[in-house]
Structure 1
Amino acid sequence: MQTTLYLREVSLRRETVPSFDEYPFSLPAVRGLNELEFRSPVTFLVGENGSGKSTLLEAIASSWGFNPEGGSRNMMFATRPSESGLHEHLRLTRGTKRARDGFFLRAESFYNVATEVDKLDMTGWYGGKSLHEQSHGESFLAVFMDRLFGSGFYILDEPEAALSPSRQLSVLTRINDLVSEQSQFLIATHSPILMGYPGADILLLDEDGIRRVDYEETEHYFITREFLQNRERMLSQLFS
């Protein structure tokens, strides 16, 4: 696997934090953050809802120069600003090589990005068809297949939200192709399919902060495996 890393480390400038008792600095994943090193071209942020995955991802994206709502770096629209101020307190350590491409895919505000693509008449970069004229899953897949050009830094927030299991496998294939073309991915996900990418670094955000875990250690893997192997028993226990 190639080792080109455009983002090598994220650190929290703790001396500038106004209070660790206030959101988002009160989140365990942020409160305990000093330096977070990236070691693989594909890094996953995993954890329960509310653990801070999207908050940290958004802050990294903003610090990199992306619109907090998503899109490429030249999309500087604002629908309803809701981002935290965390990005103002992060320091990014970049690699020696500069990314030629980049994109921030955020499931919850993807509609706004699709609207901006139409407004800027950029549909040619997304397969030649308005993202609004496709199903949610088709429009997500169009970004992966047509808009991500390679040699890029890509930040994805829950990309599986609109994708069927078979489409998630297609995305894994596309990620692998882009990694071979000198790309780096930072992905927040709940999908045990996506986080199964070989050689990926998996960072678990929980009440203890951030720590590296193996794929088989994740709750996503364990619960999914148990459900598929013992569906009737698990359902019986749940419903009793």
Structure 2
Amino acid sequence: MTQFRPCIDLHQGQVKQIVGGSLNDEGADTNFVSTYDAAYYADLYRQHDLRGGHVIALGPGNKEQVLKALGSWPDGLQFGGGVNAENAAEFLNAGASHLIVTSYLFENNEFSWQRLEVIKAEVGIDKLVLDLSCRRTEKGWNIATNRWQTITNTVIDADTINELSQHCAEFLIHAADVEGLQGGIDEELVELLGKICPIPVTYAGGARTLDDLKLVEKLSAGKVDLTIGSALDIFGGQGVTLEDCIEWNRRS
């Protein structure tokens, strides 16, 4: 059954909700900047036992907040954002339940199987989440790295998913083109993921109401989980409340 998965997005040392496609070295279009730190949200999720959520560091200057969040709920949150073989152990020791890896796995826009083996040996398959966040292209959807600005040559299709699923515990997939816009999910991508993903997968991007949880469940036959960010009341949104999402998870 489709579950709601919480998030904590960090940008320039603050909890924010941004428009994904706008993120670059200069900054990003921002929907919300919180007056609370990352530990506040981690503790909120802990109180309601909302497991499987992710803390994402979007660029530099976020480490202090990352460590606060992981320390507030040890083994309760996944972490991604600049994770590599050299720093993976630090974040696991800080309390991350899983580590989310994207850009490290690519060299010159090509997927590096050598680097996958290195990070897999460091983290372990059971704690490794591959972030296959993507952008629409003429080929369908291509994985995007470097804060979703670099479109790689790796296409999200059945062959890619089946091969990569043997090397990790889960997938996390942001649809960067609709991330933060609250204009609706990428229905075609969600349906595809439901058909081709043999392991747990979380989709993020465009969700605006509780009906999107129902839609994701329908399109994916309950195989894809959903992250809701900008539309959520705790992030200044008006589309859906955290309590609604908690109740949704309780029904299953």
TM range (shorter): 0.3 to 0.5
Whose strand proportion is higher, 1 or 2? 2
- TM-score, normalised to structure 2, is 0.37
> Of Structure 1 and Structure 2, which has the larger fraction of its residues in helix?
1
Give the greater-gyration-radius structure (CA): 1
TM-score, reference length from structure 1: 0.38
